[in-house]
Each structure stands twice: as structure tokens, then as C-alpha cells.
Amino acid sequence: MGRYLLRRLVIAVPILFGISLTTFALGNVAPGDPVTAMLDPKQMANLGPEWVEQRKEALGLNKPAATRYVIWLKELSRGNLGYSYQDGQPVWRKISERIWPTLLLMSTVLIMANLIGIPLGLLAAVKQYSVFDYAASLLGFAAVSIPSFFLGLGFIYIFSVQLRWLPTAGMNSVGGAKSFIDSLEHIILPATTLGLAQAAPLIRYSRASMLESIHQDYIAVARAKGLSERTVMFRHALRNVLNPLVTIIALDLPALLGGTVIIEQIFAWPGMGTLAVASVFGRDYPVIMGITLLGAVTVVASNLLADLVYAVVDPRIKYS
Amino acid sequence: MTETVDYSDVPLAGIPASGAPVSSPLLESHRRRSGVWHRFRRHRLALLGSSLLFLLVVASLGAPQIARHDPYTVELRSYRKGPSAQHRLGTDSSGRDVLSRLLYAGRVSLSVGLVAVSIYAAIGIVLGGLAGFYGRWVDSLIMRIADMVLSFPSLIVIITIVSILGPSIYNVMLVIGAMGWPPIARLVRGNFLSLREQDFVIAAQSIGAPNRRIIFRHVVPNALTPVIVAASFGMAQAILLEAGLSFLGLGVQPPTPSWGNMLTDAQSVTVLRSMTWLWLPPGLMIAVTVLSINFIGDGLRDALDPRAAR
């Protein structure tokens, strides 16, 4: 197990290296001065141009790109992602204000997707070729084919504009006291919109996986023992179905992160997605780079975690 | 619907995609193709998808003949007017005819999808082929790059690159193409690796066929079958991505119509509430197009590889 873990970590190193290199390169070809991006504008104003030159020298910003990359990595390891072009705030602070809303949205989406996708997929497999099976499959097709922004707008039109059941935008009502019900009302529409799209691969994989499981010998044995169909399905077949889903969920994480960008935009959700879009329009590259880097590192980390969890829960995997 | 575990319905002539043609290659490939067509035809959703896509392509190509108004003519007097006899689907915020724009936008969306997928299929096939054929460090290098590209939340990277390059239809095609290749490369690599060990390749080697002939004659045709399936699903995704980017204002720029940028206006509650003709048609067009292509992809998957478990 220890060696397996180590090998996975070693594979992640060049990937992380490539990610940091790509992000750095993007930040460098982006218009704007990378020097002022690394320095605090308030300090710059107080201390004058000589100090800026000194800082440049100290940070090695006059040096060639390869050296600067190493310096940038060092700054990164200290948690310095640079400073926003727009308001001079540290990028990390701007991002950290937005992390929680995005995490809240993403985890709600994941819960919704699992609650919709897995039961539908399992039932479709148990009732293979039934009307329900076709309906679930069609729903899966629709969920990946309808653009999330259109679905989101449709939901707003139906549930907010026509029926007036739910708020159109934001995370909380303006001026109102923050209550659980209020937050719940705000998150339902964005989470359902994205949850449906994320449920589609889960329907597909849980169905395929369950079907595979049903045709295994041990299921035939369980049936031959005279166990009830219910026990066979839930106690025996289901057991080997849920494990691969960990991987599927982890693999869909980049799509989920990307999905939140558009959904946050439509529902004016104060998360990293709206920050990313606003930064792109404001040409605030340090902020965009920070978000890209954070997103990529999260994806690598979650894939690693998924592999480990998978190895732990599935005894058939040998860690050599 | 697709994960058939019972293979009894697979015709004998339908040699599985990754399997080896046993006797005369000409005869076998002919029989295999007819098996594929036979299976595709029985996939009702795929037939529905093909018909719908055919109509969409005809409508887009024939846009100049079908549309009664120029999609670019601004008529400020007829600003955001509802559907009427003159403008069947009303007019947009600049008084342009929505139906005409819808038809012309089809050209944009379909060509972005096609070009973007062609770009990344080409990159994926070349890199995947190199990795699978040469193995060793070439393989490790290419696969690590693929892992890296897959780790980026692609939408965020795409909007970043598009904003650096400047949003335009060509940059959208290029960037989607540049980010989409890893799954194709993985597929091709995997197929190369398994095909390398197949009897018919070993047989070709043993009769002294040159590497180039083995690759292009025996390995590539068999390795590409799953790519066709992946590319059709990829085209659906590329169209969605273009729509999303254009919706955000980072894709196809007005006045050029795209289904995505036609929906941008709907972010205002006024438009959403009382001007459904502005946002419902383009949204439905995207959904129908993407759905049709996904149906076709599903049909192709069933037809080309009856053994596929997923």
C-alpha cells in the first residue's frame, strides 16, 4: 500500500510541474506587466520607483524567464499568488473570499447528481429494457445535450418568473436575515441545473456497472441458493457497483468546475466562477492564473484521492 | 439500451472492431461494414438523430435561400418586436430578424463543432499513435502531457486563452481543438498497444512487412474505429462549449450570429420574462443539435463495437 501510494504521488509530480509551467507561460504571454502584478501597489506608491527597481532586483524580475519561473514557484510556495491588476489586492485573498460559495455549490451539485444519477442507473439496470430503462437513458441524453445556461434560464423562467417560487439570483436575499431556508431557496435552482448535467454520466456508469455485476457467477450462485431477488440485488450485486463510481465522480470534477463558471454567471452566485469571468473581462490575469492553478491542483489532488479510496475499498486491487 | 451483454444478436459477419480480419481483407471489410450499417439502422434514436441533423445541415447550408431577411440588417424601428407575419420569430435587440439569424447561426455552430473536433482528433491520433507505437519515454511524455491537459478545468483555461488571443470564431475553434485531444490520444494509444500484440500484426511482421505498412494497413484502421465514436460525442461537446463561450461573450462575436450569443440577451429578466422569442428558439436549436449528434454517437458506438460494455 505504501509503495502504491508513493508511486501515485511520484506520477503526480511531473503533472503538477507541467501545470505550473503552463500557467506561468500563460501569465507571461498575457498582456500586462508581470512586474507590477507581483508587487503590492500600495507599497509601490509609498516607496517610489527606486524601491520598485530594488524589489524587481530582489525578486529577480529582470532576469530571464526560466529564472523568473523558479522565483515564481518560490513565491507560490509561500502562498503569494501575486496581486490583482484591478484593485491591488492579493490574489489569494480575492480567491479565498470566493472559495466557500463555490465549494458549497459544488458539493450540493455532487449530492444532487448522486441522488439523481445512481438510483436511476441502478433501477434501469435491474429493469433492463423496460420503459423505465429507456426513460432513464433518454433523461441522461437530454441532461448532457441541453446547455446548462439554457436549462438554468428555463428554470428561472418557470420557477422564478412564472411561478414565483424561488429567487432568481444570488446566495442570500439582500438585506434579509441569513437563514437556512433562505439559503436553501437560493441554491435549489443552480444546484439542480448543474446536478442534472452531472447526473448523466452517473446514470450511464451505474447502469453499466450494475449490469456487469448482475451477470457475474456469484449472482447466479446467490440466485441458485434461493435468495430473494431483493437480497440478491442489494446485498450481492450492488456491492461491486459503487466502487468504480468514486473514480467517475473524480474524473468529472474538471467538468463540474467548468460548469460552475457558467452557472454562477447565470444565477449571480458570488463564487470563483463569477470572479473568473469578471477577471477575464477586466483582463486581470494574475487572478485568472490563480484560479486556473487552484482548479488544476484540486483536480490532480482529487484524482489521487480517488485512486487511493478505490484501492482501499476494492480488495481486488493489488497495491504493488 | 446500449450495454448489451447478450451478444447472440451480433451477426457473424460483424467482426468486432478490434478483431482481426481472418480471410480475404477485401471481402471481410465489406461484410463488416454492412454489419455496421445494419446495426446502426436498427438503432432508432440514431436514425432520428441522423434525420434531424440532416435537416439542420440543409437548413444551415440553405440559409441564404430560406431566410427572407438579411441576418445583419439593423432596423431600429422594429426593436424587440414579437413574432409577426413579416418576422416569423420576431426581431432582436437591434431589430434584426431572429429566424434569419437562427438559420445563419446554425452554420457557425456546426462548423465550429466540426473544425474543433477535426483539430483535436488529428492531434489525438498522431500523439496517441506515437505513444502507442514507440512506447517507452515517448509514451510516458505524451501521456503525462495528456494527464496535465485533462487536469485543467478546461472551461477556465479556454476562457483565459480566448481572452489573451481575443475572442473570435477561429480562436474558439483552435482553443477547443487544442484542449480536447487527450481522450482521443488515450484511446488510440490503448488500441495501438493491444493491436500490437494481435495475431494478425504478428503475422504481418513475420512475413516481413515494413513497419509503415503494418501501421497504416493493419493497425490504424482498427485503432480508429473508437475514435469515430469519440469524435461524434466530441462534436456535441464542442458545440455546447462554443455556445457557452459565445453566451458569456467570449466566443463568436456579434454581429455574427451564433446560437450561444443569441442567448446572451436573456440574462436580463425583462427579456427572460416577456420576450421568449429571443431566447427559446436558439436554446432549443442547441439542444436539438447536440441531442441529435449524441444519438448518432450512441448508434455508432453500438454499431461499431458490439462488445463495448459502456
* Each residue's pLDDT tens digit, A258-290: 888 889 988 888 889 899 888 888 878 888 888
- The amino acid occupying position B155 is L
Taking an 8 Å cut-off on Cβ atoms, the answer to whether A168 and B279 are in contact is no
| Closest Cα in chain A, distance from residue B23 (Å) | 33
Contacts with A, B 237-266, CB within 8 Å: 240, 243-244, 247-250, 260, 263, 266
Q: Which three cell numbers stand for residue A9?
A: 504521488
pLDDT digits 0-9 by tens, A187-229 = 888 999 999 988 988 898 888 888 888 888 888 888 888 888 7
Nearest to B236 among A129, A145, A254 (CB): A145
Distances (CA, A) of A84 to A52, A245, A286: 17, 39, 6
Contact yes or no for A141 and B153 at CB 8 A:
no
B188 within 8 A of B124, measured Cβ to Cβ: yes
pLDDT band at B3 (very low <50, low <70, confident <90, very high): very low
**Looking at chain B from residue 129 to 148, which residues have their Cβ under 8 Å from any Cβ of chain A?**
144-145, 147-148
Give me the residue from A31, A207, A296 closest to B153, CB to CB: A296
Q: What is the ipTM of this complex?
A: 0.81
- In tens, the pLDDT along B51-109 reads 899 998 888 887 787 777 777 777 777 677 777 767 677 777 776 777 888 888 888 88
A153 touches chain B (CB under 8 A): yes
Grid cell in block for residue A83? 496581486
Residues making up chain A, counted from first to last: 320
> Which residue reads 463495437 in cell numbers?
B305
Which chain B residues touch A31 with a CB distance below 8 Å? Answer: 164
Q: Which of B240, B250, B272 sits opposite A147 (nearest CB)?
A: B240
**Comparing B176 with B5, which gets the higher pLDDT?**
B176
Place of cell 468514486: A246
A142 touches chain B (CB under 8 A): yes
Nearest-Cα distance to chain B for A171, in Å, is 17
Region of B11 please: left (phi>0), alpha (psi -120 to 50) or beta: beta
CB–CB of B272 and A204 under 8 A? no
Q: Is B286 on the interface with A (CB under 8 A)?
A: yes
Report the residue from A137, A215, A303 with minimal CB separation from B1. A137
- pLDDT at position A130 over 60: yes
Each residue's pLDDT tens digit, A103-125: 999 999 999 999 999 899 988 88
Give the C-alpha distances (Å, rounded to integers) separating A240 from A7, A128, A203: 25, 18, 16
Query: Are the Cβ atoms of A161 and B286 closer than 8 angstroms?
Result: no
Count of other CB atoms within 10 angstroms of residue B22: 10
Most confident of A83-92, B65-74, B177-186: B177-186
Residue A280, chain B, CB below 8 Å: the answer is: yes
Q: Report the mean per-residue pLDDT for chain A.
A: 81
Q: Which residue of B has its CA nearest to A213?
A: B5
